[in-house]
Amino acid sequence: MNLILLGPPGAGKGTQAKMLMDRYGIPQISTGDILRAAVKDGTPMGLKAKSYMDAGALVPDEVVVGIVRERLQQDDCKDGFILDGFPRTVPQADALAEALSSLGRLLDAVVSLAVDVEVLVERLTGRRTCRDCGRGYHVKFAPPKVSGVCDACGGELLQRDDDREETIRRRLNVYDEQTSPLIAYYRQAGLLTEVDGMLSMDAVQEAILAHLGKEQARR
């Protein structure tokens, strides 16, 4: 199953990707996670990406395309993958098509999650992550037992630098301008399915699985 999850920041792509990963036994490829790890490790790529990320802007296409091209060739992607946060521009989508064709692979589906802007802002401003184990929380919707402390490992809960309101608004504008054209792009390619991302996590998951089940039956 070769999948793309498309949608604005906060639409639930990461959450759904993790559920799909468990279900299908294929990896989630999150360019955001890969870039954040590079920033944390202080690699040359991380140093280059950091200023764009802090500003809520997109990292240049050639950087992220290079990451994904390399990642797709790794062994654990041979039965499929879930792209989360990539592609984000039309040139990235074109580069992905080229990379997949050179590997003799095809996309099976592109799932687009739609969520109202004010809900996105509320979801993103409340998002917290454990600095030690990476577990995710939300101050309102999924709070830890003790404020600021991870239930699982006792680690400190941090807010992503780019999850502050001003940067979030910028990231949402970037999505509208540069990423949302991909909805028409993949609709035209006959690959798009739109899911209401305002529903509960479980209902969204059910809708995605129902669609993917139909796709599998068709093939």
Binding residues vs ligand AMP (CB under 6 A): 9, 31-32, 35, 52-53, 56-59, 64, 85-86, 88, 92, 162, 171
Q: How far is the CB of 93 from ligand AMP (least distance, A)?
A: 10
- CB closer to ligand AMP out of 12 and 56: 56
Alpha helix locations (H) across the chain? 13-24, 31-41, 44-54, 61-72, 90-102, 117-125, 165-174, 181-188, 201-218
Instruction: Check if 131 is active-site.
Output: no
Instruction: Check if 127 is active-site.
Output: yes
- CB closer to ligand AMP out of 28 and 92: 92
Q: How far apart (Å, rounded) are the C-alpha atoms in residues 58 and 48? A: 12
State the catalytic residue, choosing from 13, 36, 50, 128.
13
Instruction: Check if 88 is active-site.
Output: yes
Q: How far is the CB of 76 from ligand AMP (least distance, A)?
A: 20
- Residue carrying the six token digits 């798009």: 192
State the catalytic residue, choosing from 36, 50, 127, 128.
127
Instruction: Check if 160 is active-site.
Output: yes
Q: How far is the CB of 127 from ligand AMP (least distance, A)?
A: 10
State the catalytic residue, choosing from 50, 88, 123, 128.
88
Closest CA to 195 of 184, 208, 177, 179: 208
**Residue 169 in tokens:** 């608004």
What are 151's strand-pairing partners? none
State the catalytic residue, choosing from 160, 169, 170, 187.
160
Q: How far apart (Å, rounded) are the C-alpha atoms in residues 34 and 56? A: 16
What's the CA dihedral at 143, 162, 154, 151 to 10 degrees?
20
Q: How far apart (Å, rounded) are the C-alpha atoms in residues 41 and 79? A: 29
Q: How far is the CB of 147 from ligand AMP (least distance, A)?
A: 24
Query: What's at 154, amino acid-wise?
Result: G
State the catalytic residue, choosing from 36, 50, 123, 171.
171
Instruction: Check if 169 is active-site.
Output: no
- CB closer to ligand AMP out of 57 and 201: 57
Q: How far is the CB of 187 from ligand AMP (least distance, A)?
A: 20
- Residue carrying the six token digits 């004010």: 118
Active site residues: 13, 88, 127, 160, 171
